[in-house]
């Protein structure tokens, strides 16, 4: 998707967003979340489009940072993941998608909980990490955000996996996170 730097040359704040569980609904199996398997299965969660619009209007760059290990595992194709991103972009207005196509065994620096995706986006989009946020629904999201030096929101769905620690806020949705960001951290034009 589109990648562009700051027009003013001044780094901008960002809201980094995990994809599955933050932007779109997941499918649950044995208490664990899984991404949609097709474009037709994409369901954007309530309030997401409005939250993204409000954050954008307030001067935040919304950036999707998503692990998609099904690519490495061979159970998804790159074209399918890209088609899902296009669909999400069409439904939400999101423009920036950063994807890790690896699995843990690949030992890459872009797979959350490592901060590689956030750091790459910050370089390419001229983002100010000190004034940025991460919104995620898994421990990997929070750990990646903390490692990148951003403040973190955790959407706790009670998944059957390692719980997140070290987050700054627990929220029920992206809408709630956006409300907190916009209320407490207004940007000065």
Note if 20 is an active site residue.
Answer: yes
CB 55 within 8 A of CB 183: no
CB 142 within 8 A of CB 166: yes
Q: Which residues, including other chains, have CB under 8 Å from residue 155's CB and lie 6 or more apart?
A: 21, 22, 135, 136, 137, 170, 171, 172, 173, 174, 177
Note if 130 is an active site residue.
Answer: no
CB-neighbour burial class of residue 62 (10 A; exposed 0-12, middle 13-18, buried 19+): buried
CB 123 within 8 A of CB 140: no
Question: Considering 20, 80, 126, 137, which one is annotated as catalytic?
Answer: 20
Question: Considering 18, 80, 137, 141, which one is annotated as catalytic?
Answer: 18
Would you name the residues annotated as active-site residues?
Answer: 18, 20
């Amino acid at each position: 998707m589109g990648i562009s730097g700051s027009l003013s040359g001044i780094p901008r704040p960002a809201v980094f967003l995990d994809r599955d569980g933050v932007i779109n609904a997941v499918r649950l199996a044995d208490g664990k979340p899984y991404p949609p398997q097709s474009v037709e299965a994409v369901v954007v969660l309530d309030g997401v489009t409005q939250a993204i619009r409000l954050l954008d209007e307030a001067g935040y760059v919304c950036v999707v940072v998503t692990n998609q290990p099904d690519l490495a595992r061979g159970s998804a194709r790159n074209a399918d993941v890209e088609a899902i991103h296009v669909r999400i972009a069409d439904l939400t207005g999101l423009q920036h998608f950063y994807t890790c196509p690896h699995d843990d065994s690949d030992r890459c620096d872009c797979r959350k909980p490592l901060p590689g995706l956030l750091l790459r986006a910050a370089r390419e989009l001229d983002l100010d990490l000190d004034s940025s946020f991460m919104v995620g629904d898994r421990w990997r999201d929070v750990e990646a955000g903390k490692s990148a030096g951003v403040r973190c929101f955790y959407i706790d769905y009670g998944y059957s996996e390692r719980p997140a620690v070290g987050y700054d806020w627990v929220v029920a949705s992206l809408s709630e996170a956006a409300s907190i960001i916009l209320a407490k951290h207004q940007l000065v034009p």
